[in-house]
Chain A
């Protein structure tokens, strides 16, 4: 049996890798990938708590299903935005997308 803390540690590492990806990479596609990593880190935590906590139950397993669905939608919209952006601005570099600057 894998201890809960080990799974949570993996989840934390995954989340950190995703967050660093989101914050540091300039290519939007990589940023979206980082987002996926962060979401899945959260999913891993839910499943771990559902299975390995002091009071196991099904609630923690249902949440990842919703999150996966929402993530699919998010990716679909995100990729659509990326394509639209590329068509309009000829770039996927986030540094060049700053017209909201004050």
Chain B
């Protein structure tokens, strides 16, 4: 199965060609079957390959589980190593592969029900399959350029699918159409892509290759000198800027809320579960590089934490069911970047996976609601839907509990790991932990607000809508149930040893650690000094003290392969327990305290939301909004960021365009028109010469020939007897001439 991994992206590509070329000529059922079948085939092959990968010997360093295959050479790059159509499967891409193809399949299945009544059914599945092909290329590529192909490909599909309803208005207030939303997403992504490309070129220049394994394997040699270290930091920042665009981080997040213009399964697949997490995957893929660039990691962490809080607060006041989820997605992506920034790459990928489960479930649930409400998306006109759609309500609630971070659901474990690292990792900071905790509280609040307003209380829509309410068909509820199940159990593969009282069952950690774990570098003092706070300060938030800085390896684990990681860290780092690669070991009581605090925060958010929005509480939110006054307006208008971008970027841009337009008209057009006038004048001259000299000569020759031929023609009458007469007279003439001469 491992050797078949290049086939994985080809199945959806074939599905894309089928739906795109023949989709309008076959039945919807056939299109849906082929599209789902293609993704299912990818998932099955992927699953087989991952099982085989898991069976491989991890080796002494733990990183032996890797499979790489080159299908063909793409670009021979002269002195640099050629770029190939190369695919690789390692624990990291295995996780992504299964999440993408698994969740992707469920969402394909769901779409066959959701899009059933839509025109453009085949077009939708063509785009969706193309997206799967590109996303799988992205996660399976073994070099930056092929990854970039997938990266751009998913961007293209995102653009096509956001603008899927080409004839619909998206936001009447600002006059934005769905196509505009697609364009906004595409153009915002270009900014990040440009940075990504620059980073890639710097790497190519320095490493003379774009292969992940070569670059990450030889990174130690390059970080030794100041130029290399600086370059790595620069490249890290550039790659992160690229990830910012794709994964909607500050300052490039503005496209994601508007990406909700697309059909809801698209929001679930592309703008929640898979594509937007490509940035996190890319960072984890380059984790070795980031371990060598602490400053870049610091930026990642700060931007991630800021996005988590910032986007979360904007989600508090949204009234569109999908927009709440969109801001929630931005916020959760911020969490993942916070995790990556503090070194919790495993936690980031863990959260990526659990987030894919519960956010896809939430989006599909919202799609189910919108489907039942006949296109209505305003949660103020919903309410009490639990009565009509029990399955949707139940799965939605489960996913809400999961995202809010209640144990033992999936979101709890992944969020907890990130928060722990944010506080205790060598690259963490208590402020980052605080931001993450505020984000968690906000998340719990707006998610329960959403659930309460939608499913609890009395129905607030029109009687016509009420009459139309129904549970969605089986093709839609089955994916919901599967995803809700995963949202419950998905976290159990990464249970920290603390909760099991020392027994080490954190499978996920052991699986990913060799790929994204601490990659030893001489810990740069500047970075450490910048990001490692004094211990007393670090614990001020929890009221605890005495950080144990020695690496405590539980005896039970000493034989396991993963323990080589801290050992490696010691070897490279020089000072034992540097906590570069592992979070500082807080006392168990402190960790328990943190967990309790996290749960308390989530519960607080939940209780507040239920109190404010539960039945009959309709007046409370308005009173709150009035009390909050300017803050409410600030949040409702989304911090005026769109307006700010309009003022800072678009207006100057338009002004510059107007200036260039004027220059264009005066200078360039003037020159071009001058040339045009000169050419016309010259042509007139040339034409006159042609007409009066050349044509006259030619015509004169013609006329002459015609005149003579008219004369000669008279001789040839076609009358045989005239010719004979002429002959006779000729003969007589010659004869008489002969006689006379003689």
Contact = CB atoms under 8 A, between A and B. Distances in A.
Chains A and B belong together in one complex: yes
Interface of A: 19, 22-24, 31, 94-95, 97-102
Interface of B: 712-713, 715-721, 724-725, 728
Contacts of A94: 719-721
Contact of A98 (B712, B715, B717, B728): B717
Nearest to A26: B721
B719 A23 contact: no
B715 A102 contact: yes
Contact of B718 (A19, A24, A31, A101): A101
Contacts of A23: 721, 724-725, 728
Contacts of B716: 100-102
A22 B717 contact: no
B712 A19 contact: no
**Which has the most chain A C-beta neighbours within 10 Å: B716, B717, B718, B725?**
B718
A21 B87 CA distance: 104
Contacts of A95: 719
Nearest to B710: A102
Contact of B717 (A19, A24, A31, A101): A101
Contacts, number: 29
B150 to A, nearest CB: 79
A19 B729 CA distance: 11
B721 A22 contact: yes
A51 B599 CA distance: 154
26 contacts: A19-B728, A22-B721, A22-B724, A23-B725, A23-B728, A24-B721, A31-B721, A94-B719, A94-B721, A95-B719, A97-B718, A97-B720, A98-B717, A98-B718, A98-B719, A99-B718, A100-B716, A100-B718, A101-B716, A101-B717, A101-B718, A102-B712, A102-B713, A102-B715, A102-B716, A102-B718
Given A24-B721, A94-B719, A98-B718, 5 more contacts: A94-B721, A97-B720, A98-B719, A101-B717, A101-B718
B204 to A, nearest CB: 81
A87 B724 CA distance: 25
Nearest to B728: A19
A70 to B, nearest CB: 18
Contacts of B721: 22-24, 31, 94
Nearest to A35: B724
A97 B718 CA distance: 7
Nearest to A28: B720
A86 to B, nearest CB: 16
A22 B718 CA distance: 16
Contacts of A31: 721
Contacts of B719: 94-95, 98
A24 to B, nearest CB: 8
Among B712, B713, B721, B725: residue with most chain A CB under 10 A: B721
Contacts of A101: 716-718
Contacts of B720: 94, 97
A23 B721 CA distance: 5
Contacts of A99: 718
Nearest to B712: A102
Best-buried of A19, A97, A98 by chain B (most CB within 10 Å): A98
A95 B717 CA distance: 10
B719 to A, nearest CB: 6
Contacts of B717: 98, 101
A95 B718 CA distance: 9
A36 to B, nearest CB: 15
Nearest to B714: A102
A24 B724 CA distance: 10
Kindly name the residue among A97, A98, A99, A102 whose own CB sees the greatest number of chain B CB atoms within 10 A: A102
Contacts of B713: 102
Nearest to A24: B721
A89 to B, nearest CB: 13
A102 B68 CA distance: 87
Contacts of A24: 721
